[in-house]
């Protein structure tokens, strides 16, 4: 019986891990094969070249960070504001998916293909925010502004190193999310629950 081939998905996942930790320059067929403990010959049974792998990686990233999120949010029975929070938590969770997302953003600064994909993904994410925020906000200009602020909060806080005197970072982000979602302090979760409920950031 012949040896089992390394599944295509394992090559893609290993590529995403390499992207997350070392940037696109770290995505090399030889390096991925070594990490998988196989020869690089199996790679060419699935991909014509490295560019084909990079395209498959972008497909996997978009599917996981948008399609899967949309499916999960669609199943949520909570109100629109809770669904916005859930979308934020699922889109930019701490860990692997966030690191891949940040790596794609860095890659997009130098690569047209990655930039085009990032624009498409971010446009889909913004539309999700618009769709949900418009259920409790009727002014189109305000919907757009709130959607932008929500997106900037979710992404931007990963790049900030500012301190918040006498306040935790999680508490400030939770308050910012409440402002975007028009949740009054009296309606917000208890202060101790801020990290669990911050959602957008």
pLDDT reported for residue 32: 97
Considering 4-8, 87-91, 95-99, 123-127, the range whose residues carry the highest mean pLDDT is 123-127
* 12 domain-assigned: yes
- Tell me the two tokens of residue 19: 């992207």
The C-alpha atoms of residue 35 and residue 30 are separated, in whole angstroms, by 9
* 149 domain-assigned: yes
| Helix H or strand E encompassing 87 | helix 80-91
Percent of the chain with pLDDT over 70: 90
* 73 domain-assigned: yes
What CATH number has the domain bearing residue 18? 1.10.357.10
* 178 domain-assigned: yes
* 1 domain-assigned: no
Structural domain harbouring 47: 8-197
* 87 domain-assigned: yes
The C-alpha atoms of residue 103 and residue 101 are separated, in whole angstroms, by 5
Question: Would you say 14 and 35 are in contact if contact means Cβ atoms under 8 Å apart?
Answer: yes
Q: Say whether pLDDT at 190 is over 70.
A: no
Number of domain units in the chain: 1
pLDDT in tens, 131-159: 989 989 999 999 999 999 998 998 888 88
This prediction has a pTM of: 0.84
* 2 domain-assigned: no
């Amino acid at each position: 019986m012949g040896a089992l081939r390394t599944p295509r998905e394992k090559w893609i996942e290993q590529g995403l891990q390499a992207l997350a930790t070392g940037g696109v320059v770290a995505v090399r067929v030889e390096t991925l094969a070594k990490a998988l403990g196989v020869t690089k010959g199996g790679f060419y049974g699935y991909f014509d070249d490295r560019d084909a792998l990079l395209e498959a990686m972008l497909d996997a990233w978009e599917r996981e960070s948008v399609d899967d999120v949309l499916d999960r949010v669609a199943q949520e029975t909570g109100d629109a504001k809770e669904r916005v929070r859930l979308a934020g938590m699922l889109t930019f969770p701490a860990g692997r998916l966030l690191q891949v997302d940040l790596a794609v953003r860095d890659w997009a600064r130098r690569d047209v293909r990655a930039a085009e994909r990032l624009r498409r993904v971010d446009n889909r994410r913004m539309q999700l925010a618009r769709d949900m925020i418009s259920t409790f906000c009727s002014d189109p200009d305000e919907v757009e502004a709130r959607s932008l602020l929500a997106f900037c909060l979710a992404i931007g806080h990963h790049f900030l190193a500012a301190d918040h005197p006498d306040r935790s970072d999680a508490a400030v982000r939770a308050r910012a999310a409440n402002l975007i979602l028009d949740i009054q302090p009296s309606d917000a979760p208890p202060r101790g629950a801020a990290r669990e409920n911050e959602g957008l950031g």
